[in-house]
Structure 1
Amino acid sequence: MWAIARTELKKTLQDKGLWFWTFILPIIFIVGFVAIFSGTEDVEFKELVTQIIPGYTVMFSFYIMISIVIAFVKDRDRGMVARIASTPLSIRDYFIGKWIPFMVIVLLQIAVLFTFGVIVYDLPLGDPLALVILSFILAFLTTGWGMAMAVLVKTENMGLALTQVIALGGALLGGLWMPVEVMPDVMQTISRFLPQYWALEGYKEIMLNGGGIGDIWLSLFILLIAGAAGGILAMLAYPHYLKQSRS
């Protein structure tokens, strides 16, 4: 398991596209949108940065699914999965070994973007324990969904397209691009069924209102259930994924 995790982490960190999607592009978006909306009347700068920075952090955390899909599809098409299946390594250990590096990358992404927000825009972080737990569960969610998608899609392009739908569609409907309060009533109702909404609400509660774990328990619960659903789906779909692997 740990050998798989080390190999996957080393291989993934060598992907230049990963660095662009994970760190460079989110910072460009944050800088651009803060500059655009910082002159807006009746909007406090603190509220602005606690909408934009956590919002784009949540949105771009979903792009880790692209890297997960690519890793799994390549293992399948190269016959790596079939060879691993013939060893004593269990399905659980295989998934955990593949999952850990992507968890680390998402957590690193969140830490970098929030640190950038603190240094450049004086972003208030609030309760550190609540912030860490929420970030960990967000990473669990995005990687869990990525694992499920990776064993279900047939091609990398299909995974890329679905990631765009989930990331961009969830950002639009989940209130990551604009406050939910200014959205039409129908969209406000839809947003409450999306994990992106609950992730952002949790971050805003911590950063704006000084909330703790007890104040964001509903966000934590919903994200945890959604992430677990992705992981369970990935495990259930593994036999189908294995059948598609070249021997």
Structure 2
Amino acid sequence: FQDQLGTTEDLENKSLITFKEITPNKGKEEVMPNSVQHNVPAWALFAIFFIVVPLSINLVKEKSQGTSVRIRTSPTPYYIHILGKTLTYLIICVIQFLLMVAVGIWIFPLMDLPQFDVTGKMFHLLIVTLFAGLAAIGFGVLIGTVSDTQEQSAPFGATSVVVLAAIGGIWVPVFLMPEFMQKIAQFSPMNWGLNAYYDIILRNSGIGEIAKELIFLFLFYIAMVTISLLYERKQNAV
């Protein structure tokens, strides 16, 4: 058969199929997440950021019902109102995360999937959740502030969250993306949160090792809220 092909290569000992295994790494350390270790934090982040939709709708509804006018005329500064919403929705974000963790611990094993292990990691995971929740809330505040109707805030909020999830590694892990997409993913707050979760779950990292991601998430929140307050002040300037 080899003579008929006109080749002298030993096809019996030569591999006809090759593959390249790609693993996520941090420095020289390679760690492969299983399906549960990826999906639990990824979908928890997706749920956290989808709080953008109800939050932005709530802010638009306040404007349409005149509630925002009463808030601005009260002696309480407007930023206190934003901080109140931040605290309320932050609690919801934590509840969403805990529910997703519960699914990973008790439901996934019933589906013959690995159990999500949070032994000794829960405190650090909650810290990341709080900062990711802040980033999501800040984004929702901005959308709700610049939108005039619910028809504007709801579709744009949902679409933007889906886009951030797509480029941030929520659906497809970033290490499986093309190189140019991996660079784009670095600008997604969901990617910052997911990397922080990965560092804790896969590498047992402490707060010091994920400080960069936490700072990025907090600065994102500060930037979104600051822009919202400036926009609100400009719109209502006499």
* TM class by smaller structure: 0.7 to 0.9
Which residue is equivalent to 1:27? none
Match of 2:117 among 108, 111, 124: 124
Match of 2:44 among 52, 57, 65: 57
* Percent of residue pairs identical: 24
* In 1: Cα distance, 2:235 partner to 2:116 partner: 43
2:127 paired with 1:133? yes
5 Å-filtered alignment, 1:1-247, equals 47-121=34-108, 122-125=115-118, 126-240=120-234, 242=236
Contact 2:46 2:170 in 1 (8 A): yes
CA RMSD between the two structures: 2.1
* In 1: Cα distance, 2:189 partner to 2:134 partner: 12
Contact 2:56 2:140 in 1 (8 A): yes
Shift of 1:223: 1.0
Shift of 1:75: 1.0
The TM-score normalised by the length of structure 2 is: 0.78
One-letter code aligned to 1:123? F
Between 1:234-243 and 1:78-87, the stretch displaced more is 234-243
For structure 2, the 5+ residue unaligned runs are: 1-21, 24-30, 109-114
Q: Relative to structure 1, is the Cα distance of residues 45 and 225 closer, same or farther in structure 2, using a 3 angstrom cutoff?
A: closer
* In 2: Cα distance, 1:55 partner to 1:112 partner: 13
Between 1:120-129 and 1:217-226, the stretch displaced more is 120-129
Q: Name the larger-Rg structure.
A: 2
One-letter code aligned to 2:164? G
* In 2: Cα distance, 1:200 partner to 1:48 partner: 14
SS in 2 for 1:214: coil
Contact 1:76 1:82 in 2 (8 A): yes
1:119-156 Cα deviation digits (max 9, x unpaired): 22321225233212111101111011111111111111
The TM-score normalised by the length of structure 1 is: 0.76
Between 1:183-192 and 1:159-168, the stretch displaced more is 159-168
One-letter code aligned to 1:78? Q
1:43-63 Cα deviation digits (max 9, x unpaired): 999621111111111112111
Contact 2:36 2:116 in 1 (8 A): yes
Shift of 1:157: 1.8
Q: Relative to structure 1, is the Cα distance of residues 80 and 241 closer, same or farther in structure 2, using a 3 angstrom cutoff?
A: farther
Relative to its length, the structure with more helix (as a share) is 1
* In 1: Cα distance, 2:158 partner to 2:68 partner: 26
